[in-house]
Amino acid sequence: MDYHFDIPLNNQDIKQLRIGDVVYVSGVLFTARDESHRLMLKKDPGEIPFDTKKMGLYHCGPLMKRINDEWQVVSAGPTTSSRMDIFEEEFIKKFGIRLVIGKGSMDDSLTSVFKKNNCVFTVYTGGAGALAADKIVKVKDVYFLKELGMSEAIWIFEVKNFGPLVVAMDSYGQSIFKSWEMLFKGENCACK
């Protein structure tokens, strides 16, 4: 199924989504990689200068260009989500995250975290940075740029029909990555 939702996704939206579904989202995303996860987790939600509950979390370290006083997105595809495995349970709970966008798999133990917090993990095509950049209609803000640098800073992006995102872990405790892990059993005998 293909869905089009506004961010923040509500409970009903999230409950509709099952692994393998395709979804396009419009609204506001904030980017965060390893360093910004670590930095944000050291703070109280009240100390964070933007409202995480109204945004989606995007695992992304964009390539930006400053033209006069304005930031422009050059290329902004997803980064490897598994690097955030160690932070995400606490991060989702603490900041009220309902939508995570990234690439690659996340640790299987997180399926229960997505279920418990009524949250979804969706993936965008890795490396499709130019394509993703064209779905970002506005750079609203940037935080921690001086401390963390371009790729690790938190960028606030307004996006329109951002996708196609594939639901990889849904709010029912399912993971799309399980399907091919099952196939490995067949291949193992060929490895001997």
Of residues 73-92, those binding another protein (CB under 8 A): 74-77, 79-80, 82
Size of the site for another protein (CB under 8 A): 46
Which helix (DSSP H) or strand (DSSP E) does residue 58 occupy?
strand 56-58
Beta-sheet strands, E only, within 19-124: 22-31, 56-58, 63-67, 70-75, 99-102, 120-123
Q: Could you identify the residue written with the tokens 């006069």?
A: 68
CA dist., res. 101 & res. 125, Å (int): 10
CB 50 within 8 A of CB 3: no
Of 47-55, 68-76, 87-95, 111-119: span binding another protein (CB under 8 A): 68-76
Q: Which two tokens stand for residue 70?
A: 């304005």
8: helix, strand or coil: coil
| Residue closer to another protein (CB basis): 123 or 156 | 123
Of residues 29-58, those binding another protein (CB under 8 A): 35
Residues in contact with 179: Cβ distance below 8 Å, sequence separation at least 6, in sequence order: none
**C-alpha distances out from residue 41 to 30, 95, 133, Å:** 15, 9, 27
Q: Which of 117, 150, 158, 174 binds another protein (CB under 8 A)?
A: 150
| Binding of residue 4 to another protein (CB under 8 A) | no
37 is catalytic: yes
CB of 147 to another protein, least distance (A): 10
Active-site pick, 17, 30, 36, 37 = 37
Query: Which positions are annotated as active-site residues?
Result: 37
Using CB under 8 A as the criterion, which residues of the chain lie in contact with another protein when the complex forms?
Answer: 20, 22, 35, 60-63, 65, 74-77, 79-80, 82, 103-105, 123, 125-131, 133-134, 149-152, 164, 166, 168, 176-177, 179-180, 183-184, 186-187, 190-192
